[in-house]
Chain A
Amino acid sequence: QVQLQESGPGLVKPSQTLSLTCTVSGGSISSGSYYWSWIRQPAGKGLEWIGRIYTSGSTNYNPSLKSRVTISVDTSKNQFSLKLSSVTAADTAVYYCARERVRLVHFDYWGQGTLVTVSS
């Protein structure tokens, strides 16, 4: 059974960089059948796709966040990471990592989510 677990600081100051890591267990992040994605959800609001990475390191990002987002992968640790720069209060949200089927665009496994608050 594949499991994903987000980790990282729960509080980030405005203008700083938000950094989260997703650890994958029960399966290899190097599998060619999947992308590894980040999705966020502000309190009481809907889901927003942030971006994805393939095992090769190839990435795609939400155009609205592209200038501030970097997603990377560490296959040796079976982890992938999110960095979001120049954060503001609008970036306060629950951040989820998820597994996405290549070319089929659906998310079949999700982490439990981690709340990141942007505040001084």
Chain B
Amino acid sequence: QSALTQPASVSGSPGQSITISCTGTSSDVGSYNLVSWYQQHPGKAPKLMIYEVSKRPSGVSNRFSGSKSGNTASLTISGLQAEDEADYYCCSYAGSSTFEVVFGGGTKLTVL
């Protein structure tokens, strides 16, 4: 199973909004509402930011939102803040034959 496709980098200024895309196939993102997003600061473990496409865990800012259209999922961060600068990874269930999980290659967010 191939990794999901994310842009290598995105950037934005404080206060702006950015969107990170995550493109899969009809076998993973397109077939299941089981996309999650993780934030990872350097040297730290990933942190769950969005699950089941658009749900936020308790404690995660409502500036983070998720959506999906067809084979592409998206993470939007509004009101960018300096602490949002990190790597972001999407993740999807990839089918009941192997119960596999696939991740995207990651996107580096730079807050200008």
Given contacts A46-B106, A47-B106, A107-B36, contact A63 B1 (CB under 8 A): yes
**What separation, in Å, do the CA atoms of A45 and B108 have in the docked complex?**
11
Q: Are A46 and B45 in contact (CB-based, < 8 A)?
A: no
User: Within 8 Å of chain A (Cβ to Cβ): is B52?
Assistant: yes
Bound-state CA distance A104–B100 (Å) is: 12
Query: Does B7 count as interface, using CB distance less than 8 angstroms?
Result: no
Tally of B interface residues using CB under 8 Å? 27
**Distance, CA A113 to CA B46, complexed state (A):** 10
- A96 and B103 alpha carbons, distance in the complex (Å): 14
Nearest to B104 among chain A residues (CB) is A46
B25 to chain A minimum Cβ distance, whole angstroms, is 16
Residue contact B48 to A107, C-beta cutoff 8 Å: yes
- Residue pair A60, B45 in contact (C-beta under 8 Å): no
Question: What mask results when residues 76 to 112 of chain B are scored 1 for a CB within 8 Å of chain A, else 0?
Answer: 0000000000000101110000111111111000000
**Total number of A residues with any Cβ neighbor in B under 8 Å:** 21
Q: Which of chain B's residues 1-57 have a Cβ closer than 8 Å to chain A?
A: 1, 3, 32, 34, 36, 38, 44-48, 51-52, 57
Which residues from A are CB-within-8-Å of B51?
101, 104, 106, 108
- Which interface residue of B99, B102, B106 has the most chain A CB atoms within 10 A? B99
Name which residue of chain B comes closest to A50, CB basis: B101
Closest residue on chain A to residue B46 by CB atoms: A110
Q: A63-B100, A105-B91, A106-B52 are in contact. Are A46 and B46 (CB under 8 A)?
A: no
Q: How far is the CA of A108 from the CA of B91 in the complex (A)?
A: 13
Query: Are A96 and B45 in contact, CB atoms less than 8 angstroms apart?
Result: yes
Which residues on A sit within 8 Å (CB–CB) of B102? 49
Taking A37-B101, A104-B51, A110-B47 as known contacts, 4 extra A-B pairs with beta carbons closer than 8 A to each other, sorted by chain A number, are A105-B91, A105-B101, A107-B38, A112-B44
Binding site for A on B (CB under 8 A): 1, 3, 32, 34, 36, 38, 44-48, 51-52, 57, 89, 91-93, 98-106
Using a CB–CB cutoff of 8 Å, the interface residues on chain A facing chain B are 37, 45-49, 52, 60, 62-63, 96, 101, 104-108, 110-113
